[in-house]
Amino acid sequence: MTTYGRAAEESAFVRTYAVTRGRTKPRHLLALETVLEAGQGRPGPAQAEECGEILALCRERRRSVVELAGRLGRPVTAVKVLVSDLLDAGALVVPLTQSYADTGAGSGPSIQMLAAVSAGLKRKWPDAVAYPQAG
Over residues 36-57, the pLDDT tens digits come to 999 998 877 767 788 899 999 9
The secondary element (H helix, E strand) that includes residue 38 is: strand 35-38
pTM: 0.62
User: Could you please report the per-residue DSSP string of 37-61?
Assistant: EE-S----TTS-HHHHHHHHHHHHS
* pLDDT of amino acid 7: 47
CB neighbour list of residue 4: distance below 8 Å, 6 or more residues apart = none
Cα(92)–Cα(32) distance, integer angstroms: 16
Tell me the per-residue pLDDT of 104-131, one tens digit each, with 9 for 90 and over.
Answer: 555 666 677 777 777 777 777 777 666 6
Minimal CA–CA distance to 54: which of 19, 21, 24? 19
